[in-house]
Structure 1
């Protein structure tokens, strides 16, 4: 039986993905390994990135993937610098893991001797050879630039570090009909409420899970989003229909600290469980698109644009720093495009 295993980053966690043609015996064997899960998005089984699992699937042992002693010390100093600048823990993890990848590649070279040319070699010999994405390469560039800004004695010229050309990827959007099917798929009021609030306010997953009952301003029909991405507070409008649903939900579920809590009172709902709720809704409705929770946010923005809402207001609602980020939705809005008559019709 042929299979392929490789190290991946899945939901910000290092995993080993195993790809193979469907084989019931192999599936039964791989499911016996602790922590193994199936990913519909990856179309692969994936399991924890441990020394044992690396050896089992003939991958480079973890002991060969550690930076030099100097590198380990510098990564820790970098983390401390990021914390002093009040970067979020998720950003600190992303940046330090990206820097770690770069310093592992040059573990035999003193950090003071690393040059701009070395970064180009790393991009060609590691990023491109392993078919890693431009967005991952951009993470490396961000991390390396920040890191070398904090070091005095270095040959790296930060101002001359080049970024990869970013792919212009259009956001994924669901139709209003598909959104309606998804939001009505669950009879569980909490599940229905969470998906509905994400779409109706254009929320990120983390923003929804951080909501507390006090953040709902029923007098002014507003939702207050505290410490959203980039540590920026913002407000979102609360539709009368959503407010009515929230009152019913509050009566039934009686949340305490967080608006949406898991099995333990006072603790926020689990992000992975929330993703599973959407996955179940897709299965119930028969929608085969690989939709994620962020698709609901994309759909909110696109549907607002199609209904005539000014782009500046959408930018404010989504919490975008730059209008250029919001302008991407003009490329997926079908309102004007659908009105264009193809010359084929006149043949």
Structure 2
């Protein structure tokens, strides 16, 4: 999802306006941010002009909101270390901006004097006070721990820095009937092919868009996924029905570099366009749930579990490092729940 953010003067107050195409997931997320408001006249959501929001929406901080010169130099060293370890650019941005927020909070204090008690104070007086999410807090804690472990002489005990408890949210899952409706919504073979491949192989959006024709192994009926999340390669099974669809698609579109290319030959299909493909499909079939592309991946895993596939195999297919991540699908599978008879039926 692409968006644009800029500083505006709204009703004599400095605000950050965020512009994006209507998207239910993004609207839900932005509503959770402190003092977020919708403006009909601006046709945009807007929020307070704070350092946190400037960081969140990648707007340059004001000069008086910058951390100390010592902090700026150390943040740059930290970014160089992350790059040398081949962290992704998105992770580098998340960690460095999170660290910037923390060091700005202690801009009057030498970094070498920061202690564990300062981390606790920051969590209470900044994260909790501003009602920032547990996931955001977790990202900053990760950044702080890695920074003090690798870059700076410390008075901090890394192992004693605690992470917040994560909210235990269940994945969103569609029924097989709903999946079938969505996949059959488009007559355009390219659109149908992309959505079908995500569901049939349990792919992440980025994994689909990075696919190249050479990674489709029709002899072994597998898809080779290169440099997935965590820079891990894995394979996904290729169903005979999907392979037949791919052959029809390939003959019609003749992709060169990427399996699914955009308007410019050789360039990958955009994430925004793919989201639009799904959006049109769910609107066409009358599904009102705020379905995202990741729901197809969740549904793939849950449907496998319900059909009797061992959880260990599902873990491998999804590319999860920990079995605990995969086990969450046991909480949304209805196979066992449907066999339970409610005591209400005996009344």
What residue is the counterpart of 1:230 in the other structure? 230
CA contact under 8 A between 2:134 and 2:164: conserved in structure 1? Answer: yes
2: CA distance between counterparts of 1:234 and 1:153?
A: 39
Q: After superposition, give the CA deviation of every residue in 1:36-76 in whole Å (9 maximum; x if it has no partner).
A: 6544331653479999x98xxxx997334322222221111
2: CA distance between counterparts of 1:101 and 1:37?
A: 29
Bigger mean CA deviation after superposition, 259-268 or 151-160: 151-160
1:107 Cα deviation after fit: 2.2
Q: 1:120-139 maps to which residues of 2 (within 5 A)?
A: 120-139=120-139
Q: TM-score, normalised by structure 2?
A: 0.85
What residue is the counterpart of 2:336 in the other structure? 336
Q: After superposition, give the CA deviation of every residue in 1:152-203 in whole Å (9 maximum; x if it has no partner).
A: 4222211110111111111111111111111111222211111110000000
SS of equivalent residue, structure 2 residue 299: helix
1:35 Cα deviation after fit: 5.4
CA contact under 8 A between 1:213 and 1:255: conserved in structure 2? Answer: yes
2: CA distance between counterparts of 1:244 and 1:331?
A: 34
Q: TM-score, normalised by structure 1?
A: 0.85
SS of equivalent residue, structure 1 residue 229: coil
Q: 1:130-279 maps to which residues of 2 (within 5 A)?
A: 130-279=130-279
CA contact under 8 A between 2:215 and 2:223: conserved in structure 1? Answer: yes
CA contact under 8 A between 2:2 and 2:272: conserved in structure 1? Answer: no
SS of equivalent residue, structure 1 residue 227: coil
1:271 Cα deviation after fit: 1.3
SS of equivalent residue, structure 1 residue 95: helix
Flag structure 2 segments of 5+ consecutive residues without an equivalent.
29-37, 39-43
1:306 Cα deviation after fit: 0.3
CA contact under 8 A between 1:134 and 1:164: conserved in structure 2? Answer: yes
What residue is the counterpart of 2:115 in the other structure? 115
CA contact under 8 A between 1:39 and 1:46: conserved in structure 2? Answer: no
Do structure 1's residue 40 and structure 2's residue 5 form an aligned pair? no
2: CA distance between counterparts of 1:143 and 1:153?
A: 15
2: CA distance between counterparts of 1:64 and 1:211?
A: 45
CA contact under 8 A between 1:201 and 1:237: conserved in structure 2? Answer: yes
Cα-Cα RMSD: 2.9
What residue is the counterpart of 1:313 in the other structure? 313
CA contact under 8 A between 2:5 and 2:19: conserved in structure 1? Answer: no
Change (3 A) 1:48 1:38: farther
2: CA distance between counterparts of 1:60 and 1:149?
A: 27
2: CA distance between counterparts of 1:219 and 1:212?
A: 16
1:86 Cα deviation after fit: 1.5
